[in-house]
Amino acid sequence: MPPFPGSGLAKGLAVTLRTMTRKSHTAQYPDVQPELPPRSRGVIGLFEENCTVCMLCARECPDWCIYIDSHKETVPPAAPGGRERSRNVLDRFAIDFSLCMYCGICIEVCPFDALFWSPEFEYAETDIRDLTHERDKLREWMWTVPEPPALDPGAEEPKELAAARKTADKLAAQRAAEQEAERATEQAAAQASGEPPAQAPDEAPGRNGADGTPGTAEGGTA
């Protein structure tokens, strides 16, 4: 059956009308900033303190756009009679973002968590040479790196945190034992000289009063 005359025009007008009444998806950038996912690949930040100059990132970069210079330094032995050690000191770390293809391989392979993605993307330049970001600029990008997502409830504590907590607990226990030993020595010395033993800080007058009644000093009851 031949199409009804003018049906094509009506169909076209219906499409136009539908599109006109639909919400627009146009982003009014730069007046309105786009809402990017926090893990967007905008620019790479360098956390220099973590970098050991192992060169893995520069070696694995498919574009060869990471430039690293370093020199060796001798570190004196930690204990007398120990061996001197040598370590790499970073002289230059730069990424040429005019060559970078944002593959993220450098971030993946860094064994020391020294490289991170930042969602910042507004660093266009009129001179292509300015797209090579040196270490100071790469460090500045670190301020724009979002916090890592929270752990799942019930997830295992990260190894680094567990190790730090264990060390802190050990130090606290060691300090408490030292204080206890000091107190015991003082008490023994006081008993030997016939003086009353020194009171522990939480038994001092003012908190509970010298006669055992509640004191009126700060922290006591009024």
Q: Output the six-digit token pair for 129.
A: 């040479």
Q: Could you give the CA distance from residue 20 to residue 24 in angstroms, rounded to a whole number?
A: 9
Minimum distance, C-beta of residue 65 to ligand SF4, in the bound complex (Å):
5
Minimum distance, C-beta of residue 70 to ligand SF4, in the bound complex (Å):
9
Q: Does 54 bind ligand SF4 (CB under 6 A)?
A: yes
Determine whether the annotation assigns residue 57 to a binding site.
Answer: yes
Q: Does 145 bind ligand SF4 (CB under 6 A)?
A: no
What is the four-CA torsion angle of 94, 95, 97, 98, rounded to 10 degrees? 80
By beta-carbon proximity to ligand SF4, the closer residue of 121 and 210 is 121
What pairing do the DSSP bridges indicate for beta strands 132-133 and 85-96? antiparallel
Q: Does 52 bind ligand SF4 (CB under 6 A)?
A: yes
By beta-carbon proximity to ligand SF4, the closer residue of 105 and 207 is 105
Minimum distance, C-beta of residue 116 to ligand SF4, in the bound complex (Å):
10
Chain residues 22-51 in contact with ligand SF4, contact rule CB under 6 A? 51
By beta-carbon proximity to ligand SF4, the closer residue of 54 and 131 is 54
DSSP secondary structure letters along 44-55 = EEE-GGG-----
Helices and strands: H and E segment counts in the chain: 5, 5
Chain residues 85-114 in contact with ligand SF4, contact rule CB under 6 A? 95, 100-106, 110, 112, 114
Determine whether the annotation assigns residue 65 to a binding site.
Answer: no
Q: Is 176 helix (H, G, I), strand (E, B) or coil?
A: helix
63 within 8 A of 99, measured Cβ to Cβ: yes
Q: Does 140 bind ligand SF4 (CB under 6 A)?
A: no
By beta-carbon proximity to ligand SF4, the closer residue of 108 and 169 is 108
- Name residue 123's amino acid: Y
Q: Is 204 helix (H, G, I), strand (E, B) or coil?
A: coil
Q: Could you give the CA distance from residue 204 to residue 222 in angstroms, rounded to a whole number?
A: 17
Determine whether the annotation assigns residue 103 to a binding site.
Answer: yes
Query: Which residues make up each annotated binding site?
Result: 51, 54, 57, 61, 100, 103, 106, 110
